[in-house]
Structure formats: C-alpha cells, structure tokens
Amino acid sequence: MCDSGNASEWTDTIHFGIPGSGGGDATIDEDVIGLYTHLMPNPAGDRVNLISSFRMRKVELFNMDGKRIACYEANGLSTILDLSGYASGTYIVRIITQSGVTTKRMIKK
C-alpha cells in the first residue's frame, strides 16, 4: 500500500496502448477498430479525411447496392479520399487495417 510517507523502489516503465496499433498483426474486434477510426467531415464534399489509431492497409468504397466502386491503397494512420467523381448519396467505406476491418457509412453532398 502506498501513502505519501512511503516511496516505491520500483523504477520500471509502464507502457499503455491500444492492442494491435503497433507493429504486430493481432486481430481486434470490428467495434474497437470502428471506435478509433473516423471519417471527417461526414457529410463530405469532394474530399474526406480518414483517420485511425490502427495502421490502414486498404480502403474500399461501396455503393448502397453493395457494389465496390473504388479501392484505395493506404499505408498509415490517415488518408484523404477524393470523392469528386462520385454522385451525391450514401456510401459504405470499408477500412482494412493491420489489426482487422471496420465499416463506416458516409454521405457525399
């Protein structure tokens, strides 16, 4: 038990982080990845920023019929998608990370 009069002799460092966000390939639940992955702004104009705490490998864009209409290579924690060639409407964005997959609904103005 620690109190203000007693100091610990322990000097090791403790590191905290999100499992799988480092260099490994651990699989994490889709809900966890979704919680730490964001599309901004949404609704989007001609560009949308995609930011994640997990290293992204690929981003896929689907229409509401489930047809994949675009696939972007990604290698990092953020990327920008150019939506200028797409009609206004609702799309599904599938984000594939080193730790798993999540999907987001996006509206293009």
Which CATH number applies to 30-108? Answer: 2.60.40.3080
Residue 31 confidence (pLDDT): 83
- The answer for residues whose C-beta is within 8 angstroms of residue 99's C-beta and 6 or more apart is 19, 20, 21, 25, 26, 27, 28, 33, 54, 55
Domain ranges for the chain:
30-108
Question: What angle (nearest 5°) sits at the alpha carbon of residue 42, between those of residues 36 and 43?
Answer: 165
Residue 17 confidence (pLDDT): 54
Residue 6 confidence (pLDDT): 54
pLDDT (tens digit per residue) in 51-69: 999 999 999 999 999 999 9
Contact between 48 and 80 under an 8 Å Cβ cutoff? The reply is yes
Residues of the chain scoring pLDDT < 70: 1-26
